A and B are shown apart, each in its own frame.
Chain A
Amino acid sequence: MPTRSCGPFSAQGTHRRAKFPLPVPTSFSPPLSLAAIDVAVTYPNGLSALRDASFRLDGGTICALVGVNGSGKSTLFKALMGFVTPTTGRVEIDGRPVREAQKQSWVAYVPQAEEVDWTFPVSVHDVVMMGRYGYMNFLRIASTADRAAVETSLRRVGMWDYRDRQIGELSGGQKKRVFVARALAQNGRVILLDEPFTGVDVGTEEAIVTLLRELRDEGRLILVSTHNLGSVPEFCDQVVLINRTVLAYGPTSEVFTAENLTRAFGGALRLFDLAQSTVNDHDGRSVTVLTDDERPLVLGKRGHLEYLDRTGREQLISDREEEQKGKS
């Protein structure tokens, strides 16, 4: 019998009764603000990755950091984490330098899958315990509270039953969940996720989104770096658009416009205009598909293929009509 609800991942495996009372997640800590103020980063080789980047976010929101490769997106991400020091300008968390926020374990980081050495001999439990280092003493010996936090976090993402697995022996979605659990164990109040949905199955993606919403409702600030445009309006409250600087930031509905996206992506965006359909009669209604990565496969009425290039295919609609008449 499961003794407690395990959130979005509860479908995963069965859960044994906890050995000790689990602490209620220390939620509802006052939301922190995160601000970039005129951040510029110039690398030692003279390459200017970012200039005059400014924005401000408050806790209790999910915000997407959107930009193409080479837009300075990952540089801004690193500056927010304190991994690179801005050449000019500064990043403030709760009005303080990043370094101080780090020492409070406020900043949690969920890395991209490619950044992790999956052959390293550590177990799932070991990895999540790494989120607790900031709460431990000089020798980093885990206390009961640390173990409890690790267990709660692993149960919350449905990975407790996998705690003794070596991390390389997990699926893409499971791997991601382990690192989300580490951010939970750390009780990070600003959680940054780098491309969280790459190599993750749809089920896990939905579960992660549900979990992120819960975390947002606990007052945490969730920042997601992504190039997956389609997923942004689905779960992000706010967007920061980047192309060498911050082009726009604010609520998704205001920022995520075709005009802004074109500015952010320039020619790097594929445009699939369905105003002229190859399979449907043109009725004046219009849908435009934007994608930066892969060509979308678009199927129209009755599962017929839509073609991006319609010249020479004008007769398709009438052909289909004939087919349909013949069948009925």
Chain B
Amino acid sequence: MFTFLLAPFHYDYMVTALWTSALIGGVCGLLSGFVTLKGWSLMGDALSHAVVPGVAIAYLLGLPFAVGAFTSGLLAAGAMAFVKMKTPVREDAVIGIVFTAFFALGLLLISLFPSRVDLKGIIFGNILGIATGDVVQVVIVSAVCLLVLALKWRDLMLFCFDPNQARALGLRVGALHVMLLLLLSATAVAALQAVGAMLVVAMLVTPGATAYLLTDRFSVMLRIGAALGALTSFFGAYLSYFLDGATGGCIVSLQTLGFVAALLFAPKHGVFASRRTLRRARAQEAAVP
């Protein structure tokens, strides 16, 4: 039995996939706290799709995929900011227009050069077959994100909670905005490898949303989010070995299970807890003549 369960660890590619997934999941989970509270979930989805043409071009030119993806993501973010500033079109519509345009361009490029770019790998992720060079890129991106978050999470928290207070204290709110956007693009690029463009948004939202239901403290929420992201990604990759299914699907399904569990059983914000509180309040009311 044990040999069966330990089987994945006999393969180098599986070991790499497991720890890389855990790393990516952890970083995304950490950032998801900011994304959910800032209301940037749609932005995360948009950026994860907008990196696709960059990845395609990078592979075509033989550049590191992270460079292409990152550039493409930033161009998309810039385009959204520009359209939003210049037109009265609503923000969600602007995001919808820009990210689909980028994604479409990516699909077109990939379909034009099918032999040189792996469409499935980009859309659905391919962590089990990740190349060593890509692992290095993921590690660098993750390390930079972790460092920035470790140094600046309190400023970013203030930016998310009360940007006016940040401004009143002379903090550079514009710089914090860009910093969070850069972190979002960077993690989206890293997560592309693990779960693919379609599911990156789950990695950037679900752990944070789950953690939000479990605590009322921001620092605790970040830790829970990171832990959830890392654990679900590790076990998702592990399970996908046995199920022989898509790794991204396994990871995100696990995250969703975690969210549903928190939704039902969270000590304070869960469905059952709310019902208990309501029942107790009613009982108290009934007790008072």
Q: Does B276 contact A (CB under 8 A)?
A: no
User: Known contacts being A103-B170, A105-B169, A133-B158, is A121 close to B164, with CB within 8 Å?
Assistant: no
Contact of A121 among B151, B169, B215 (CB under 8 A): B215
- Stretch of B18-26, B113-121, B186-194, B216-224 at the chain-chain interface: B216-224
**Interface: B6 (CB within 8 A):** no
Complex alpha-carbon distance, A122 and B217, angstroms: 5
Residue of B nearest to A115 (CB): B164
Interface flag for B82 (CB, 8 Å): no
Name which residue of chain B comes closest to A108, CB basis: B168
Q: Is the CB of B165 within 8 A of A130?
A: yes
A74 CA / B37 CA spacing, docked (Å): 26
Q: Give the complex CA separation of A117 and B165 in angstroms.
A: 13
- State whether A109 touches B151 (Cβ < 8 A): no
Most-contacted residue by chain B among A105, A133, A138, A186 (CB, 10 A)? A133
B282 within 8 A of A: no
A121 touches B165 (CB 8 A): no
Within the complex, the shortest CB–CB distance from A239 to chain B, in Å, comes to 23
Quote the shortest CB–CB distance from B10 to chain A (angstroms): 42
CB of B177 closer than 8 Å to a CB of A: no
Give Cα A133 to B153, complex, Å.
Answer: 13
Q: How far is the CB of B181 from chain A (nearest CB, A)?
A: 19
> In this assembly, does B134 line the interface, its C-beta being within 8 Å of a C-beta of chain A?
no
Q: What's the minimum C-beta distance from A262 to chain B, rounded to whole angstroms?
A: 33
Q: How far is the CA of A99 from the CA of B220 in the complex (A)?
A: 33
Give the contacts of B130-185 with A (CB-CB under 8 A): 151, 154-155, 157-158, 160-162, 164-171
A122 x B218 contact (CB < 8 A): yes
Given contacts A121-B215, A139-B154, A140-B155, contact A82 B168 (CB under 8 A): yes
Please tell me which one of the listed residues B169, B216, B217, B221 contacts residue A133 in the complex, with CB atoms under 8 A apart.
B169
User: In the assembled complex, which residues on chain B have CB atoms less than 8 Å from the CB atom of A120?
Assistant: 37, 160-161, 218
Docked Cα-Cα span, A288 to B169, in Å, equals 44
CA distance A102 to B158 in the complex (A): 16
- Chain A contacts for B158, CB-based, 8 A: 130, 133
> Is A122 a contact of B161 with CB atoms below 8 Å?
yes
| Nearest CB of A to B66, in Å | 27
Does B124 lie at the interface of the complex (its beta carbon under 8 Å from any beta carbon of A)? no
Residues of B within 8 A of A117 (CB): 37, 161
Residue of A82, A130, A166 most packed against chain B (CB within 10 A)? A130
Contact with B along A189-230 (1 / 0, CB 8 A): 000000000000000000000000000000000000000000
In the complex, A123 has a CB within 8 A of chain B:
yes
Which residue of chain B has its CB nearest to the CB of A129?
B154
Contacts of A44 on B, CB cut-off 8 Å? Answer: 85
Report the separation of the CA atoms of residues A139 and B166 in the bound assembly, to the nearest whole angstrom.
Answer: 15
Decide: A166 and B216 in contact? CB cutoff 8 A. yes
Name the A residues within 8 Å of B169 (CB-CB): 102, 105, 133-134, 186
CA distance A186 to B170 in the complex (A): 13
With both chains docked as a complex, state the minimum distance between the C-beta of A44 and any C-beta of chain B, in angstroms: 8
- Which residues of A have CB within 8 Å of B218? 120-122, 126
Residue from B85, B162, B216, B220 within 8 A of A130 (CB atoms)? B162
Q: Which of B218-242 contact A (CB under 8 A)?
A: 218, 220-221
User: Does B102 belong to the interface (CB within 8 Å)?
Assistant: no
Q: Is A43 an interface residue (CB 8 A)?
A: no
- In the complex, the chain B residue whose C-beta lies closest to that of A139 is B151
Does the CB pair B168–A81 fall under 8 Å? yes
Report which residue of A81, A120, A134 has the largest number of chain B beta carbons within 10 angstroms of its beta carbon.
A120
Q: What is the minimal beta-carbon distance from B172 to any residue of chain A, in angstroms?
A: 10
Does A8 count as interface, using CB distance less than 8 angstroms? no
A25-65 vs B, Cβ < 8 Å mask (1 yes, 0 no): 00000000000000000001000000000000000000000
Mask: chain A, 151-179; 1 = CB below 8 Å from B; 0 = not: 00000000000000010000000000000
A111 CB–B CB distance under 8 Å: yes
A103 CA to B169 CA, complexed, in Å: 6
Q: Which residues of chain B are within 8 angstroms of A66 by Cβ–Cβ distance?
A: none
B170 touches A111 (CB 8 A): no
Are B212 and A121 touching (Cβ within 8 A)? yes
Contact A121 B217, beta carbon cutoff 8 Å: yes
Of all chain B residues, the one with the shortest Cβ separation from A102 is: B170
Contact of A121 with B216 in the complex, beta carbons under 8 Å: yes
Q: Are A82 and B167 in contact (CB under 8 A)?
A: yes
Tell me if B217 and A102 are in contact (CB < 8 A): no
* A:57-91 near B, CB below 8 Å: 81-83
Chain A to chain B contacts (Cβ below 8 Å), 12 pairs: A81-B168, A83-B167, A109-B165, A111-B165, A117-B161, A121-B37, A121-B216, A126-B218, A130-B158, A131-B165, A134-B169, A140-B154
List 9 additional contacts besides A103-B170, A122-B157, A140-B155; criterion CB under 8 Å: A81-B168, A109-B165, A120-B37, A121-B218, A121-B220, A123-B217, A131-B165, A133-B155, A139-B151
The 9 closest A-B pairs by CB, nearest first: A102-B170, A103-B170, A166-B216, A140-B154, A109-B168, A134-B169, A121-B216, A121-B218, A120-B161
